[in-house]
């Protein structure tokens, strides 16, 4: 389980396809603390560390076809930066919200507005069961726990403070880019019970 509080930015150093799987090698600021079989969220996608390279300071994760189809990982290439978060320690603070690392679908960034001290982003997504946002509710965008507003059936807005802009991939996000969305798990359960 994760909380959507990004620990650092990783850089993809290699991409290798094997059958329907894709292996991503990532350089990260906390490489030395990782272990084989550990879960790490990459842009909100929970992936298992399958290899470590101490000389290069990198770890490798594998995405299966299902993951490639439902996330933006299929477009990842060398040089891309990704948001990284290790799973929540049992004695850690719960600073964000409950994030599983199970992306529901991708959304498109419709607009980015510089508000002279913060940034306003608007996202559009396909409608469907469990794809629910509420005013001032939680949403996970590329692994970042955020509060949404201007919520509609197929979209929402978020405001990004300077710290988040500087320390996540939001600094690179442009209109037209695809992002990974994970809707609030509590909201998804309520929506299922209500038949939405």
> In order of start, what are the domains of the chain with their CATH numbers?
8-86 (2.40.30.20), 105-194 (2.40.30.20)
Contact at 8 Å (CB) between 173 and 160? Answer: no
The CB density around residue 113, as the number of other CB atoms within 10 Å, is: 11
pLDDT at 88 (0 to 100): 86
Residue-wise pLDDT tens for the chain (196 aa)? 899 999 999 999 999 999 999 999 999 999 999 999 999 999 999 999 999 999 999 999 999 999 999 999 999 999 999 999 999 887 777 788 989 999 999 999 999 999 999 999 999 999 988 898 999 999 999 999 999 999 999 999 999 999 999 999 999 999 999 999 999 888 777 777 777 6
pTM of the model: 0.94
Helix (H) or strand (E) holding 189: helix 185-193
Three-class SS of residue 70? helix
- Listing DSSP states for 11-56 in one string gives EEEEEEEETTEEEEEEE-TTGGG--TT-EEEETTEEEEEEEEETTT
The half-sphere exposure of 24 on its side-chain side, counting CA atoms within 13 A, is 30
Contact at 8 Å (CB) between 51 and 59? Answer: yes
Q: If you ran DSSP here, which 8-state letter would residue 171 be given?
A: G
Instruction: For 25, list phi and psi in degrees, rounded to 5.
Output: -105, 130
Contact at 8 Å (CB) between 56 and 28? Answer: no
pLDDT at 115 (0 to 100): 95
Please measure the distance between the N-terminal and C-terminal CA atoms of the chain and give it in whole angstroms: 25
């Amino acid at each position: 389980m994760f909380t959507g509080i990004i620990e650092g930015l990783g850089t993809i150093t290699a991409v290798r396809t094997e059958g329907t799987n894709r292996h991503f090698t990532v350089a990260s600021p906390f490489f030395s603390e990782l272990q084989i079989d550990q879960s790490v969220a990459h842009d909100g996608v929970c992936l298992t560390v399958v290899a470590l390279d101490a000389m290069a300071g990198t770890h490798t994760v594998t995405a299966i076809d299902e993951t490639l189809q439902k996330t933006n990982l299929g477009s990842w290439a060398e040089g891309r930066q990704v948001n990284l978060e290790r799973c929540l320690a049992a004695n850690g603070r719960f600073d964000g919200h409950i994030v599983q690392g199970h992306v529901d679908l991708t959304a498109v960034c419709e607009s980015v507005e510089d508000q002279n001290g913060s940034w306003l982003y608007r996202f559009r997504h396909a409608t469907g069961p469990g794809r629910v946002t509420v005013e001032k509710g939680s949403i996970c965008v590329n692994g970042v726990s955020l509060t949404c507003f201007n919520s509609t059936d197929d979209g929402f807005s978020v405001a990004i403070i300077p710290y988040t802009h500087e320390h996540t991939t939001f600094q690179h996000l442009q209109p037209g880019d695809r992002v990974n969305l994970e809707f609030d798990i509590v909201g998804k359960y309520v929506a299922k019970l209500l038949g939405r």
